[in-house]
Amino acid sequence: MGKPASSEYAIEVNDVTMIFNMASEQLNNLKEYFIKLMKHELFFTEFRALKNISFKVKPGEVVGLVGTNGSGKSTMLKIIAGVLEASEGECIVRGNIAPLIELGAGFDLELTARENIYLNGALLGYTEEFIDAHFQEIVEFAELPDFVDMPMKNFSSGMVARIAFAIATITEPDILIVDETLSVGDVFFQEKCEKRIQHFIDDGHVTVLFVSHAMDQVERICQRAVWIEK
């Protein structure tokens, strides 16, 4: 990702295309994959997830990404978050990002919630001292004080999402990326998460990219929307 002199935009997506290479036949296991690969019997077909996508987001804007299933909304967010690199085009991001994408993906479920708070926090760039200072706040927001020393393999997906959301939003980021986060867990916690996001928005300094299949959420939270065609 480049950083041109202009800083009028927090996010610039310029003619981005994303192509995935997919095996042209279904393989049953990893061994079969490597055997065919070594024998040059493995062929790939191209799957174009995004084609020539361009849009810009100003600092402090709240923008929804909408489109039909399979249109590439989540792929676009991952490119902006730096999880994926575009096959073509460029994506310029100015500021630190809190990506609420695939909540809990950075957790080791064999470890306790306490250990994972420090692990996930480190992945997000937080120091151990910072986590020490905010540990109780994270646990209380997630509403899981009685489970902090339990291995997370025993947690429901909603419990995992609670802790992941609490860690990712413990500080105010420059850019907040939200992908279906609010569809996880009970309705009361969804409302709690939405209030925290709304607090960032009301502050006026946070740029928000928001993906949701619930159009009422998009209309309620976002100032405008970008339609991504399949």
- The pLDDT tens digits of the residues spanning 155-178 come to 988 888 889 889 989 988 899 998
Please give the average per-residue pLDDT across 60-84, as a whole number: 89
Provide the domain limits for residue 217.
63-87+95-227
The H or E element containing residue 179 is: strand 175-179
Is residue 184 included in any domain, yes or no?
yes
> What are 179's two structure tokens?
């992908």
- With respect to residue 55, please indicate whether it lies within any of the assigned structural domains: no
- Count of domains for the chain: 1
Indicate whether 2 pLDDT > 50.
Answer: no
Average pLDDT of the residues in 40-55: 82
Q: Whose CA is closest to 167, among 120, 225, 204, 123?
A: 120
pTM confidence score:
0.77
For residues 95 and 10, give the distance between their C-alpha atoms in angstroms, rounded to a whole number.
7
Q: Examine the pLDDT at 31 and tell me if it is beyond 80.
A: no
Q: Is 44 domain-assigned?
A: no
Query: What's 204's domain CATH number?
Result: 3.40.50.300
- Which residues, other chains included, contact 42 with Cβ-Cβ below 8 Å and sequence gap of 6+? 23, 33, 36
